[in-house]
Structure 1
């Protein structure tokens, strides 16, 4: 039995299958943990979701910003962007069951026996484990509501600076949770989230911004945090407790698979033609 963690798939279905073939992934015994952004920008989001859906309990994803964006597109809350390459998925007869499956996935997964936490973008350094679990669960509950579109999806996009404090209204806490766990990279000096800079830390021109994983965190001090989202890092954080798995496959880089039991990283280059 093996546990494999994969970075952003983003519809790169063939690369995912080749990567799993390299480790002889067997869904009868092994588990695939996906760090979010399962869909969008790659050539075959439909096959990707269909494959993950068929894996049933052998796959454990978290949701990323592109996965939530898929929910907004399917609900008619956002306009399609050809760059997302989601038309085949959105027009598929399989879409309803796949949307239900996506809605059922959490923003965070915790493996206490391995002291591992997985989210798409990272963890807010202000939070302890209790807050992380509570806020993730609240978003999951909102996604399971019958009126999830009007109650959450239609209102999750905003242009405000995102900052956490305990006295935030409940919906603002939900929105911060989504922002932090699916969109975060840099933090301002006051701990608020910055969404503009997407460069690696050494290329950021604002000296007042710092990566979230360079802040002291009660969660990260006791657990390893597995995340994707930040392709520009190319897997480098210089922090043994911050494991970055988005290595830019969809942008011409590689897809990275991390084997928990051995610590090995296995990669698959982006295919030129599929």
Structure 2
């Protein structure tokens, strides 16, 4: 059995299938782990969700910010960005089933035997494994309630909840969890989240900011943290306990697949569209 972790797909379904073909991915014995942002930007969001849903237990998925935004768009809370190319998905006869399936997906996945934690954007440095599981599960529970749109999705669009505190309200804890696990890149010295800077590390000229993974973390070195979300760093991290897998396929770069057992990376360049 092989465990393959793939970076942000963002609707680049043809590239996904090609990179899986390169490793002869076999869903009967192998497992595909996806770091979230399954949809948007590429033209194959519908096919991506159909494929991953059909993999069933052979796929381990976490939600990214684009996936949560899709819930808002489908729920008529937000308008789709034309650049996201979501029309085919939103008008599909399967959209209701796919949305219900997406709501069942968590914000974190754990490979217990290999001590791997996967989230979309990372894990706050001051969170231990218990806090990660507890807070992520609270969000997942809320997503599965019938009132998930009004009680969570409609309220998650705020930058004001940028710092973890046990005294936060239950709703604010959920919002912080979404912000941290799906949007985090840079943080301040006091571990407040920054929502503005998306630059590569060498181009960030704000001395108050540093990458979240540059801070001493409770989950390292005991665990390897797998994440995506930050295409600008193109997978360049300083520790073998970090796997940054978003390499900007939807922006014309390439899709990255990490084979955990051999610690090898396999890539597929973005296809040129006619």
Q: Is the 8 A contact 1:224 1:243 kept in 2?
A: yes
Question: How big is the alpha-carbon RMSD for the aligned residues of Structure 1 and Structure 2?
Answer: 0.9
| Alpha-carbon distance between aligned partners in 1 of 2:66 and 2:80, rounded to the nearest angstrom | 12
Note if 1:240 corresponds to 2:235. no
Note if 1:97 corresponds to 2:97. yes
Give the alignment of 1:1-274 within 5 angstroms. 1-160=1-160, 162-273=162-273
| Alpha-carbon distance between aligned partners in 2 of 1:221 and 1:30, rounded to the nearest angstrom | 26
Q: 1:119-171: per-residue Cα shift (whole Å, max 9, x none)?
A: 00000001111000000100000001111111111111013151111111111
SS of equivalent to 2:88: helix
SS of equivalent to 1:46: helix
Q: Is the 8 A contact 1:36 1:61 kept in 2?
A: yes
Q: 1:84-110: per-residue Cα shift (whole Å, max 9, x none)?
A: 111110111110110011000000011
| Alpha-carbon distance between aligned partners in 2 of 1:165 and 1:120, rounded to the nearest angstrom | 21
Q: 1:214-249: per-residue Cα shift (whole Å, max 9, x none)?
A: 000111221000000000111111111111000000
| Alpha-carbon distance between aligned partners in 1 of 2:222 and 2:214, rounded to the nearest angstrom | 15
Moved over 4 A (4+): none
Q: 1:43-65: per-residue Cα shift (whole Å, max 9, x none)?
A: 11011111111111111110000
* Structure 1 residues without counterparts, runs of 5 or longer: none
Deviates more, 1:150-159 or 1:251-260: 150-159
SS of equivalent to 1:217: coil
| Alpha-carbon distance between aligned partners in 1 of 2:140 and 2:150, rounded to the nearest angstrom | 15
SS of equivalent to 1:55: helix
TM-score (normalizing by structure 2):
0.98
| Alpha-carbon distance between aligned partners in 2 of 1:231 and 1:222, rounded to the nearest angstrom | 25
| Alpha-carbon distance between aligned partners in 2 of 1:181 and 1:20, rounded to the nearest angstrom | 26
| Alpha-carbon distance between aligned partners in 2 of 1:65 and 1:220, rounded to the nearest angstrom | 24
| Alpha-carbon distance between aligned partners in 2 of 1:231 and 1:172, rounded to the nearest angstrom | 28
